[in-house]
Amino acid sequence: MIDWTRIDDLKHELGEDDFEEVFEIFLDEVQDSVDSLKNAPKGTALEAILHSVKGNAITVGFSKLAELAGAGELKAGQGSDVNLQEIAAAHSESKTAYACGPP
């Protein structure tokens, strides 16, 4: 669900203080993108939003969310249905898992 190695790498690269600030920015961007899925966009608009979700999720180590958004991006590009509820649930679960800390 969470790539804790990615989180640790970011902390090391940015330093603890800067990490929190940068991490919050990315969390806000992921939240905004996931929120925009509620409008049920289609086609290239959906594909672009899912691409953004995937990229931001990779950056913050939300591996399950990145995987689902990536798969959804491909499906949207092919004109197939995407399970947006599953992606939103993975986002929520990722935030909870991050708040609980590493296992």
Structure confidence by residue, pLDDT tens digits, 38-89: 886 788 889 999 999 999 899 889 999 999 999 999 999 999 999 999 999 9
Q: Write down how long the chain is.
A: 103
In a domain, 92, yes or no: yes
CATH code where residue 87 lies: 1.20.120
74-86: buried (b, 16+ CB within 10 Å) or exposed (e) per residue?
ebbeeeeebebee
pTM: 0.88
In a domain, 103, yes or no: no
The structural domain count of the chain equals 1
Domain that holds residue 14: 4-98
25-36 pLDDT, tens digit each: 888 888 888 888
In a domain, 68, yes or no: yes
In a domain, 20, yes or no: yes
In a domain, 37, yes or no: yes
In a domain, 91, yes or no: yes
